[in-house]
Chains A and B, each alone.
Chain A
Amino acid sequence: MLEIKGLKVKLEEEDKQILKGVDLTVEAGKVHAIMGPNGSGKSTLSYVLSGRDGYEVTGGSATLDGEDLLELEPEERAALGLFLAFQYPVEIPGVGNMTFLRTAVNAQRKARGQEEMSATEFLKVIREKAKTLKIDADMLKRPVNVGFSGGEKKRNEILQMAMLEPKMCILDETDSGLDVDAMKLVADGVNALRDAGRGFLVITHYQRLLDHIKPDVVHIMADGRIVKTGGPELALEVENNGYADILAEVAA
């Protein structure tokens, strides 16, 4: 589904190489996790895949179901089924959460040549999904992420994912800043979306989240590269011994 080959990325404004050749394939129905020390390039990878400005691809490719992602505008990637749950969700004063979501859902439908969702249908669906994520009516009415707590912002990301039903979901440190209960809610939200047609790339710092969202494959990223790939046991190894051992082993 998501196929990344030799992806090299530098900052547009600076002569700084951040991704130094990333290879990664996520198959439909699978959950892949990326772990790695701070600054290793995990967020950069997620931003480059979703089309954020400020980066220059200097080599390699990234495709979603065979379509070249890197050629597309961010909104086109979204319509194709790519979704990024942001590490730092953006606050947008003056734009109501509900208006935002309805605009997004219908824009994607329009781009795919599908019929727009009616206001009533949309309301029905969003109420249902919001409820399972414990997002109340007030949060739906408020401006996007404005005045939301860290945990509320992350739940709001998952709500968007649930409404947009993307086929490839990237979650960037969705667990950071969450207490155990909130993490459980988020994980349940993600697990509810797991199915044979959908791929997940879960970026996390900690094993914690992976107790709730069981990965099929775990990658370790360091200094702009995937340095080791394994099964769920790799995450446990990181949890117990930190990154030092793995990095030393790779360097050797």
Chain B
Amino acid sequence: MSAQVQSKRAQLKEAKLAATAERLEGQSLPAGGKWASAARADALSRLRAMGLPGRRDEYWKYTRPDTLTQAEAPAAAVFANDEAPVFGEIDRVKIVFVDGVFSAEESDALDLAGVEIERLTDAGGKDIHWAKDIYGVLEARGQDPVERPLAAYNTAFASDGVVIRVTGKAEKPVSLIYRHESESSDAVLHHVIKLEEGADLTLLENGPAAARFNKVLEVELADGAAFHHVRAQGRDHERRAVTHIFARLGREATFKSFTLTVNGKLTRNECVIEFTGDEAVAHVAGACLGDGDFVHDDTVFITHDAEDCESRQVFKKVLRNGATGVFQGKILVKPGAQRTDGYQKSQSLLLDDDSQFLAKPELEIYADDVACSHGSTSGAIDEEALFYLRSRGVPSPEATDLLTLAFLAEAVEEVEDARLAEEITGRLEGWLTRRRD
């Protein structure tokens, strides 16, 4: 690098740090924590050293971060609809947040055999707590080799959330419900989940949460633990969200996460997974439907640092009326991570010429005995298939929807539980039906 370029970079960084300092001025850390206060202070200094993301950052090349970093959340109208609640038919333990604040009245009792559930604000005020070893710890590990300043921001400023420790097989899912009521709400939630050896939990998340939502989920899986995550990011058209999942997997652990995203002006979902024990499996999948003023960004980073692990990414996006889809996915295979099986697929279906899909798939491999593949495509509806369906009497809009659902099916198949998969498919159908020409 030339001296000139170097000094230019230094200048930019300096300006960014100054802007970040200014932005954070007067914003105080949530009070009342013991170990949590220390973790927050740590995160704040990490954040000050990194600076909030800017347009020039390579990692934000495709998605503009300004509305996520600015001091005030851009207003977002609350979207009223008369649909049956997502996961409404599923027997689950409901934990409700309204504009990012836990609502005891609307939540179920936090009782579930084999599962300890506490509010972050309670856990953080204790002298000793298991969550101390995870809160902000997985996030901090996830800052290398790529910085994720909005996650550090979250660790510092999260005002609510839950910490969940699972010791057995949970008999029903824990369901986090995010209600959005205020047009200007700015919610910052941080959840921590620890699955002990052989434990098993399904976590559901749904709802628009707030006008702007910043959420971090840290998941630590001990040997043989299994974590299933199904999320439906809600329908409010003007909401914005940035979310991070940080997961660390022990030996023979299983991690499966699926996200459905419809509507919203901006959604950036980052998922950072680290394999630390052999023979573990991680699948991350997503289906998104965007219409018009919609940017959806899936950013995934998977680090294989153990042998015989399998990672699989399947992301499908349906975009119309100028919607934008982004995918940045990386598989990093460290030296010695032999017999890694890494698969990555990101595809978009563009329903018109105005929509766009920007993808950056990456593989970085330092072991010699691995099988990794990635494929990224973007295309339109298959005209041959469409004609075939129409020639059998299926009207064009229905035929298009059928082909669109078929395109998304591979991602939805990643949801193991049949009832949850059905719920997701039903939502997809509903969205498409409401938009029929």
Residue among A52, A93, A95, A99 with the highest chain B CB neighbour number at 10 A? A95
Instruction: Check: A74 CB closer than 8 A to any chain B CB.
Output: yes
Q: Give the shortest distance, in Å, between B392 (CB) and chain A (any CB).
A: 4
Partner among B383, B388, B396, B410 whose Cβ is within 8 Å of the Cβ of A92: B388
Q: Collect the chain B residues with CB atoms within 8 Å of residue A160's CB.
A: 392
- A73 to B396, Cβ gap below 8 A? yes
Scan B392-410; emit 1 where CB is below 8 A from any A CB, else 0. 1111101100110111011
Partner of B395, one of A89, A93, A107: A107
Contact A74 B406 (CB under 8 A): no
- In the bound complex, do residue B406 and residue A95 qualify as a contact, i.e. CB atoms below 8 Å apart? yes
| In the complex, A104 has a CB within 8 A of chain B | yes
B402 contacts across to A, CB distance below 8 A: 95, 99-100, 103
- Inter-subunit contact B387/A104 (CB<8 Å): no
Give A71-83 as 1s and 0s: 1 = Cβ < 8 Å from B's Cβ atoms. Answer: 0011101110001
Q: Is B394's CB under 8 angstroms from A103's CB? A: yes
Kindly name the residue among A50, A86, A100 whose own CB sees the greatest number of chain B CB atoms within 10 A: A100
Q: How far is the CB of A45 from chain B (nearest CB, A)?
A: 14
Is B29 in the interface zone, CB < 8 Å from A? no
Contact A95 B403 (CB under 8 A): yes
Is the C-beta of A51 less than 8 angstroms from some C-beta in chain B? Answer: yes
Tell me the complex Cα distance, A93–B392, Å.
Answer: 17
| Closest Cβ neighbor of B407 among chain A residues | A94
A84 adjacent to chain B (CB < 8 Å): yes
B410 → chain A closest CB, angstroms:
7
Contact A90:B406 (CB < 8 A) given known A100-B392, A107-B394, A108-B393: no
Q: What 1/0 mask marks residues of chain B from 249 to 267 whose CB sits below 8 Å from any chain A CB?
A: 0000000000000000000
Q: Which A residues touch B405, using CB under 8 A?
A: 94-95
Report the Cα distance A93→B390, complex, angstroms.
16
| Given A95-B402, A103-B398, also A90-B393 (CB < 8 A) | no
A104-B389 Cα distance, complex, nearest whole Å: 8
Identify which of residues 115-154 in chain A touch chain B, using a CB-to-CB cut-off of 8 Å.
143-144
B409: chain A residues within 8 A (beta carbon):
94
Q: Which A residue sits closest to B399, measured CB to CB?
A: A75
The chain B residue with its CB closest to the CB of A93 is: B406
Which residues of chain A are within 8 angstroms of B398 by Cβ–Cβ distance?
103, 107
The reply on B384 being an interface residue by CB < 8 A is yes
Total CB contacts across the A-B interface at under 8 A: 81
**With contact pairs A95-B406, A103-B402 given, residues A90 and B394 touching in the complex (Cβ less than 8 Å):** no
Bound-state Cα–Cα, A99 to B392, Å:
13
List CB contacts (< 8 Å) of B237-293 with chain A.
Answer: none
Determine the chain B residues whose CB is within 8 A of the CB of A84 once the complex forms. Answer: 391
Contacts of B394 in A (CB 8 A): 75, 103-104, 107
Complex-state Cα separation, A50 to B388, whole angstroms: 10
B385 within 8 A of A: yes
Contact A107 B391 (CB under 8 A): no
Contact string against B for A residues 94-117, beta-carbon threshold 8 Å, 1 for contact and 0 otherwise: 110001110111011001000000
**Inter-subunit contact B387/A92 (CB<8 Å):** no
In the bound assembly, the distance between CA atoms of A50 and B392 in angstroms comes to: 10
What 1/0 flags go to B312-337 for Cβ under 8 Å of A? 00000000000000000000000000
Contact-size category for B: 20 to 34
CA distance A93 to B409 in the complex (A): 9
Q: How far is the CA of A192 from the CA of B97 in the complex (A)?
A: 63
Q: Tell me if A53 counts as interface (CB < 8 A to partner B).
A: yes
- Bound-state CA distance A77–B390 (Å) is 9
B-side contacts of A104, CB under 8 Å: 389, 392-394
Interface residues of B in 388-437 (CB under 8 A from A): 388-396, 398-399, 402-403, 405-407, 409-410
Scan A149-175; emit 1 where CB is below 8 A from any B CB, else 0: 000000000001000100000000000
A87 to B402, CA, bound (A): 23
Q: How far is the CB of B56 from chain A (nearest CB, A)?
A: 40
User: Closest Cβ of chain B: how far from A80's Cβ, in Å?
Assistant: 9
Cα separation A104 to B387 with both chains bound (whole Å): 13
Min CB distance B378 to A, Å, is: 17
Contact of B392 among A52, A91, A164 (CB under 8 A): A164
Contact A86 B388 (CB under 8 A): yes
Question: Could you tell me which residues of chain B, from 57 to 78, have a CB within 8 Å of some CB in chain A?
Answer: none
Cross-chain contact B387 with A74 (CB below 8 angstroms): yes
- Say yes or no: B406 contacts A78, CB within 8 Å: no
The winner among B391, B392, B393, B402 for most chain A CB atoms within 10 A is B393
Q: Are B407 and A78 in contact (CB under 8 A)?
A: no
Closest Cβ–Cβ distance, residue B436 to chain A (whole Å):
13
Please tell me if the beta carbons of A78 and B390 are within 8 angstroms of each other in the complex: yes
Closest-by-CB residue of B relative to A112 is B393
Alpha-carbon separation in the docked complex, A52 to B389 (Å): 11
- Known A-B contacts A92-B388, A94-B409; the reply to A78 vs B403 at CB < 8 A is no
Contact B410 A78 (CB under 8 A): no
A92 touches B391 (CB 8 A): no
Of listed B389, B391, B394, B398, residue having the most chain A CB within 10 A: B391
Closest Cβ of chain A to B204, distance in Å, is 25
- The 10 closest A-B CB pairs, nearest first, are A94-B406, A78-B393, A104-B392, A108-B393, A74-B390, A90-B388, A94-B409, A95-B406, A75-B390, A107-B393
A-B contact pairs, 16 of them (CB 8 A): A51-B387, A51-B390, A75-B391, A75-B399, A90-B388, A92-B382, A92-B388, A92-B403, A92-B406, A94-B409, A95-B403, A95-B406, A100-B392, A103-B394, A108-B392, A143-B406
* Interface contacts beyond A78-B390, A107-B393, A160-B392: sample of 18 additional A-B pairs, CB < 8 Å, sorted by A: A50-B391, A52-B387, A53-B387, A73-B390, A73-B395, A74-B391, A75-B394, A83-B391, A92-B382, A92-B389, A92-B406, A95-B406, A99-B402, A104-B394, A107-B394, A108-B393, A111-B393, A143-B406
